[in-house]
Structure 1
Amino acid sequence: MKRLELLDYGRFGAGLAVVAYHYFFNGISNGKVTSITHIPELIAFAKYGFLGVEFFFMISGFVIFFSSRNRTAGEFLTSRAVRLFPAFWVAVLFTSAFAQFWGGQKMSVSLPQMLVNLTMLPKPLGLPFVDGVYWTLQYEWSFYFAVFMALATGLQSKLRLMFLLWPLYILVMRLIGAENFPYAAGYYCYFAAGALFAMRMEEKTPASLGALILCVGLCASFSAGKAAGLTVNKGVEFSAAIIGAIVVCQFLFFVFLTSRAGLALRLPGARLAGGITYPLYLIHAHFGYMLLSQFADDDNRVAAYFLIAVAVLAIAHAIHIFVERRPARFWSALFGRSFGALGDAFQDRASALLRHAHGVAVGRAR
């Protein structure tokens, strides 16, 4: 897939929205930032920044549709590990180090907690995240697992059908009150929506359009449905109408992105903006909270916000360049020999079992 520079801008914009949500609103409301109060003029905008996460999921669905093409299960798994683990490992160590000095009661990190977090699976192993923002990575890996299983079992050609039917499955599960079923949670509809936009870049069909329209309704209703709970939990009113409108705008962004004009856009600094977004997301929250609590007060908070934002952007840039880009070949080789080998071995075993099952079925039919 040709690099879409507007997509990089969209990714970076979503990252900034999440940073604004945490710094200007959520960190203070949840008690992790203790030295400053809210800036009232900013709350009205910053409180909706959590929707940047939903946008990330849509981007992920869009990108994964293309990155899963013409790849073995092992190659796909390798690409995902290269994308997620290096920056994540550095972020876990980085945040844990600062938490030893400034973490306090709410952001402290134990050695076992840090080590288990390096697996990206602390919750199933009974330990909390080093940083609360890591919860989204469990959804990412869950999505990757579904695609991996399709590749490993020879169903790559059925991925289009999977993405077409996924919104319908989510709707049915919602109607019967079974949203806890695997892959039925509302966040998954954003992954499906992104993949459907990618599909429509190649072929526009009535079925994909219908599925995408269903996704708009499902995503908007899911996210807007959180308004009442957020209002109670955060003590600030959240508008379901505004949330729904923002979700619709996210879909409109993809409509333009996949248009001829959007595909042709050339934007300065796009690759760098897109590249630093993931490290920025990983390090900004608890590290930023600790800096705010240590050095900010209501008199200097504007300057503190500016300096901390510059600091986290600079650190994210350093992680992107020195951890992700320059050692890229090393990471590809490392994960190819581990994740890739395991993925391909699983695919070979699955193929053998399927061939055996097919042979048994044919024999019985005779």
Structure 2
Amino acid sequence: MRFARRGELDGAPLAVRRPAPRLAVLDGLRLVAALMVVVFHYTALRGGWDQHPDKVFPVLRTVTRYGFVGVEVFFLISGFVICMSTWGRSLGDFVVSRVSRIYPAYWFAVLLTAGVITLWPQVRSVENWDVVLTNLTMVQEAFGVWDVDGVYWTLFIELKFYVLFAIVVATGVTYRKCVLFCGVWTVAAVVAPQSGSKLLEMWAPTLYTPYFVAGIAFYLMHRFKPTALLWAIVTVSLLIALHGVPKRVADNTNNSIPTWPAKLMVFAAFVIMALIALGYFDRIQWRWLTTAGALTYPLYLIHQYIGMTVIHGLRSHIPPYPLVAGLIAVMLTAAWLIHRCVERPVGKRLRRAMQQGMEEMRRNSTVPALRTPDPQSGLTILQEPRHPKPFEPAESGRVGAGTGDGG
């Protein structure tokens, strides 16, 4: 276990700090969460099957019908990872990191899914391509536009968390600010349902806020040390999360089923995150877990409607269990290809372009305009200063600064 010394709590890092090991277990947990959602969609929903899933998977479905809890696990991990990745970064770095990370694979998935359900509209069809283009923004829900794939609603929840946490990043991430953020957002989530404010309900969704908040608190435990205050934040978040589980069960099932298995899964996720935060899994550094984590996002993006379309087409030719197992294997392979051929190269180019744009904005915002008098009107005119082009001699005789990553 690794805990910070007292001086780090106020944002003053020690002079010598060893780099923390990669939390490979988080990557593995992320893949488990994704597979929970995948199996839920393939075996617990009617989807592409020609009959009720209870008849197709009479035993398996008693477990997989709770797979939607994987979404809650995602949000819990997201709070931890976002707090970890923004420490010591500027707002511009945060924006570049998030956009270049989430959009390339998402754009590809939107177009791929739209193409598949246009060619084979048995499960879902595209109303018009204006809907597809709006989906490329990832904020289609704000415009009342349906998602090209059913899982995209969770991405809008994530985006709202990024926007809110960007306030902390813009002012400099510190221990105190993270705790304050957790407290304010929790209070907003508790008040939202009875406030009558749609704006507050939008930005502080009671069903999902506690998972992000608990994730942040768990990271503070990991980076510094567990305290009574952080455990209080986690405990309150857990209780609020458990209170919302029955509604989540009702929203994802057509019949009345017990809620305790879903509550038990949420509780188990909190326990696992606590063990990660306390450093019990730090020694696990299996390389395949990192690869597994890389597959999670593209797998999540493409699996639902494409997978259901495949099930619809092959359900009469392949038995249900081999069909689902083979389909998951195919989806994992497709996710790996998207990661290697789309997510990594496009993300790298997008990140470089955005970094250059941010650098240009910073450079221009720090140079004041030149004041020159107009001889005809007698007024003072503000003129933008002339920037030397890359490698063009400046007036001082020095070489002008380049626009590349190296500055």
Normalised by the size of structure 1, how large is the TM-score? 0.85
Do residues 24 (structure 1) and 36 (structure 2) align? no
Q: Residue deviations 1:49-68, cap 9 Å, x none? A: 00000100011000011111
Give the CA deviation at 1:260: 3.0
Give the CA deviation at 1:173: 4.0
CA-atom RMSD in angstroms: 2.5
Do residues 76 (structure 1) and 94 (structure 2) align? yes
Query: Residue 188 of structure 1 aligns with which residue?
Result: 209
The 3 A distance-change label for structure 1 pair 328 and 130 is: closer
Query: Residue 252 of structure 1 aligns with which residue?
Result: 271
- Which of these two proteins has the greater Rg computed from alpha carbons? 2
Map 1:80-159 → 2, pairs under 5 A: 80-104=98-122, 106-152=124-170, 154=171, 156-157=173-174, 158-159=177-178
Aligned length, in residue pairs: 338
Query: Residue 66 of structure 1 aligns with which residue?
Result: 84
Secondary structure at the aligned position of 1:100 is classed as: helix
Secondary structure at the aligned position of 2:142 is classed as: coil
Query: Residue 7 of structure 2 aligns with which residue?
Result: none
Query: Residue 33 of structure 1 aligns with which residue?
Result: 48
Give the CA deviation at 1:25: 1.1
Is contact 1:168-1:211 (8 Å) kept? no
Normalised by the size of structure 2, how large is the TM-score? 0.77
Q: What is the letter of the counterpart of residue 197 of structure 1?
A: F
Query: Residue 352 of structure 1 aligns with which residue?
Result: none
Query: Residue 238 of structure 2 aligns with which residue?
Result: 216
Give the CA deviation at 1:155: 5.5
Q: Give me the whole-angstrom Cα distance separating, in 1, the residues matched to 2:127 and 2:167.
A: 34
Query: Residue 332 of structure 1 aligns with which residue?
Result: 351
Query: Residue 362 of structure 1 aligns with which residue?
Result: none
The structure whose residues are more often helix, as a share, is 1
Larger RCO: 1 or 2 (CA < 8 Å, sep 6+):
1
Unaligned runs of 5+ in 2: 1-19, 367-407
Q: What is the letter of the counterpart of residue 316 of structure 1?
A: A
Q: Give me the whole-angstrom Cα distance separating, in 2, the residues matched to 1:229 and 1:93.
A: 28
Secondary structure at the aligned position of 1:41 is classed as: coil
Query: Residue 61 of structure 2 aligns with which residue?
Result: 43
Give the CA deviation at 1:259: 2.7
Percent of paired sites with the same residue: 28
Give the CA deviation at 1:109: 5.0
Give the CA deviation at 1:301: 2.0
Q: Give me the whole-angstrom Cα distance separating, in 1, the residues matched to 2:203 and 2:27.
A: 30
Q: Give me the whole-angstrom Cα distance separating, in 2, the residues matched to 1:91 and 1:229.
A: 25
Q: Give me the whole-angstrom Cα distance separating, in 2, the residues matched to 1:99 and 1:117.
A: 15
Give the CA deviation at 1:182: 2.8
Is contact 1:220-1:247 (8 Å) kept? yes
Q: Give me the whole-angstrom Cα distance separating, in 2, the residues matched to 1:194 and 1:182.
A: 17
The 3 A distance-change label for structure 1 pair 191 and 165 is: same
Is contact 2:101-2:347 (8 Å) kept? no
Q: Residue deviations 1:148-175, cap 9 Å, x none? A: 12333x2534233212443344334457
Q: Give me the whole-angstrom Cα distance separating, in 1, the residues matched to 2:189 and 2:238.
A: 12
Secondary structure at the aligned position of 1:161 is classed as: helix
